Amino acid sequence: MSNIAKAFENGKAFIPFITCGDPDLDTTLKIVKEAVRAGADLIELGIPFSDPTAEGPVIQAASDRALKAGTTTDKIFEMVAKLREEVTIPLTFMTYANVVFSYGAERFISRCKEVGIDGLVLPDIPYEEKEEFLDYTKKYDVDLVSLIAPTSEDRISMIASEAEGYIYIVSSLGVTGVRSKITTDIASLTAQVKAASHVPCAIGFGISTPEQAKTMSQYADGVIVGSAIVKIIAEYGKDAPSHVYEYVKSMKDAIR
């Protein structure tokens, strides 16, 4: 069984996204530990990239700050190894194909296994092109997480039936970012996903308030929040860990 399944064993999962290296990797380490203490069930760690096509301005700016602070993929691997001395919940990387390609796909994925990364989310890799990573993710037992969007339509069953770890349901069209309202028919989208797969699904993109989290968790097995957390980190910098703790706790309490 995938280690990721543990995130969904105790009710609805709360999944924070954190950009590694914003404002620095020491702070990222502390933020992750505080998020775990507050009840996070799985954490998506963003590897910063200079052209993050799925991200809105908040996460783009975080990537930019992290890169300017000297964050590298190797340093992130070292941080994860350090985290794993204490943190046992599932961890995934969210990044872009170019980051993996430039590092060397097999080298990158074998290193994921080595440091304790359980899954990989690559938003710019469509279903039809995942094969070039699949041999390595299967070889090193790292789940390649599938994304399903409102535009997936007749491809939903095909993508969901082969999914591993968890299915990332994109709630809204466009890029990541806080949204005051989510207008997609999430009930219908998640019903189609669940009809095609037993793999847990989590909804992300646009969720920022406990009320939104509670509503979305009625349809899916988990809720993913990125921009709202990255905004807190942008505001408080090195003092962000305690503020992230309070936010994560409020969101986890809302979906219990």
CATH number of the domain residue 81 falls in? 3.20.20.70
Using the predicted structure, report yes or no on whether residue 94 has a pLDDT greater than 60: yes
Give first-to-last CA distance, the chain, whole Å: 24
195 within domain boundaries: no
Overall average pLDDT of the 98-106 stretch: 96
**Does a structural domain hold residue 49?**
yes
How buried is residue 10: exposed, middle or buried, by Cβ count under 10 Å (0-12/13-18/19+)? exposed
Residue at 93 is within a domain: yes
Q: pTM for this one?
A: 0.94
Lowest mean pLDDT among 102-106, 140-144, 173-177: 173-177
d(CA 74, CA 218): 39
Domain assignment present for residue 153? The answer is no
Taking residues 173-194, report their average pLDDT: 69
Question: Residue 151's pLDDT is what?
Answer: 85
Residue 127 belongs to some domain of the structure: yes
Residues 177-184: what's their mean pLDDT? 51
Residue 247 contacts residue 209 (beta carbons within 8 Å): no
In a domain, 181, yes or no: no
Residue 114 resides in a domain = yes
Closest alpha carbon to 77 in 29, 40, 41? 29
| Domain containing residue 105 | 12-145+212-255
pLDDT tier at 190, thresholds 50, 70, 90 = very high
Q: Is residue 76 part of a domain?
A: yes
Number of Cβ within 10 Å of residue 120's Cβ equals 24
Give the pLDDT band (50/70/90) at residue 55: confident
Per-residue pLDDT at 97 exceeds 90: yes
Which of 82-91, 98-107, 200-209 bottoms out in mean pLDDT, i.e. has the lowest? 200-209
pLDDT for 82 equals 98
Number of domains the chain is built from: 1
